[in-house]
Amino acid sequence: MLRDEAAFAAFYDRTSRALWAFVYRATGHAADADDIVSEAFCRFLQADEHDLDDTEQRRYLFRIAGNLVVDRWRKRSRDREEPLGGESPLSVDAPGRFDEVTAGFARLNEHDRVLLWLAYVEGHSHAEIAASVGVRTSSVKMLLSRARARLRRLLGSTVSVW
């Protein structure tokens, strides 16, 4: 429960870093991650969902952030704008599989990055992913399969993708 400032500060300390990493991986831009994380916490505080336990609050916060990422992705798709900040800040300076996967992940569109991050990094269920990105639960399996296939194509056949 987040009934006071100290409880919120503790919750923020426990979740902000992971939330920022999620948003950054989804968008590929630090400035976008900063903006979305700030907005997610503001919306979280305005919501009347503070009677949830800590795990449920974290999931709710990630759902808010996921929705904000998807909203930004949809707006960019409609506006046909290039992503802010030019190239992705992720680099492939050192050889190795991790760098190869990171570079491939950065080249995916934001929607695919959000789906894969929620499923394989955050461990969200299909229902939670569906709620986060605004699709039917029955569509998540197919969307994840397509996202994995796109990542696999980007990586070539040398790297196994889930």
Q: pLDDT digits over 32-86, tens only?
A: 899 999 999 999 988 876 678 888 888 889 889 988 887 777 776 665 444 333 3
CATH of domain 5-158: 1.20.140
pTM assigned to the model: 0.55
Segments making up each domain of the chain, as ranges: 5-158
Give me the long-range contacts of 107-110 (CB less than 8 A, separation at least 24). 107/154, 108/147, 108/150, 108/151, 108/154, 109/73, 110/26, 110/27, 110/28, 110/69, 110/70, 110/72, 110/73, 110/76, 110/83
Q: pLDDT digits over 83-108, tens only?
A: 333 333 333 343 455 667 677 777 88
